[in-house]
Amino acid sequence: MDPSLLKEREAFLKRAKNQPSVEKRKHKSKPDSSEPSSKRHKVKSQPPKAPTNFDYKTAHGSSQFKFSVLAKIVKYMKVRHQHGDTHPLMIDEILDETNQTDITTKIKHWLLTEALMNNPKIITKEDREGKRFSFRPKLEIRDRKGLLKLLKNYDLHGRGGINIEDVEEAIPDAEKALKQLGEHVIYVVRPNDKKKILFYNDKYCKISLDEDFQKLWRSVPVEGLDDKKIEEYLEKQGIASMQDVASHKVAPIQKRKKGSRKNKTFKKLNDHLDGLLQDYTENPKK
């Protein structure tokens, strides 16, 4: 290659490096009026909303809200029964008195067809106007006389005592009724849960015991001992324990067998004719 051409090429490259290059900016095309405004202007993204606290009262479809409505109804029906209002109510009356008229028709239908009908604390009665509901206490008693009769029945059949909470649930103004019973009842505090148990006080079964005997009785530790160990302890001390009557089987009475008639001896008659009669069984007369 010609050296003169190489020199011209190098000189051209030096001049090109020294001259600054200016880029032309592209002009933005004006928006066409025929295009819709949604395409002309870009939609600005809205900032995310702050999360609101969840309120179970607004979540009408949740199971938690449904059962809270049911629990409020059962509690109200119990308090109403304790105040002496035992007549049944319609579902609309119950919702009105419990301030729950804003529930949906779905929850109302669930209460009417499933929840209240299958609840063990609610009695359902149906008439021409529809279904009516009332509270069902654990004890079927209404007053002081009914409680005393029930306590006597428990005492007679050995069924033990009655929880005082069940009495308060069944009888209106139970505290006043228990005060009127007075000496007819006895209160015993259960050691495991400290609940009061009510017993009938039978005055005919009272036995006067010396205090020394009571102290000896209470001083004997019997916790963690079953009936067999207590029986063995009494036998070692020379005390005969009472046996369970039902554990001993009574032997059945054997019937006398009827004797065979072959061995029976009959009384002979006509002894005065001995020797005169002849036996013809061996040589019968021809």
DSSP of 5-43: HHHHHHHHHHHHHHSPP-PPPPPPPPPPTTS-HHHHSPP
pLDDT at 229 over 50: yes
- Alpha-carbon distance of 83 to 72, in angstroms, equals 17
Q: For residue 282, name the pLDDT band (cuts at 50, 70, 90).
A: low
- Give the lowest-confidence range in 13-22, 33-42, 101-110: 33-42
**What pLDDT, in 10s, does the model give residues 116-169?**
999 999 999 988 888 999 999 988 888 888 888 999 998 888 888 899 989 988
- Alpha-carbon distance of 129 to 93, in angstroms, equals 13
Confidence at residue 124, expressed as pLDDT on a 0 to 100 scale: 92
C-alpha distance from residue 226 to each of 158, 170, 239, 267 (Å): 21, 37, 17, 68
- Alpha-carbon distance of 104 to 217, in angstroms, equals 65
**What pLDDT, in 10s, does the model give residues 32-81?**
555 555 545 554 555 555 444 444 444 444 788 989 999 999 999 998 98
pLDDT at 178 over 60: yes
- Token look-up 């009417």 returns 112
- Highest CATH level, class, for 63-135: mainly alpha
pLDDT at 100 over 60: yes
Mean pLDDT of 232-253: 65
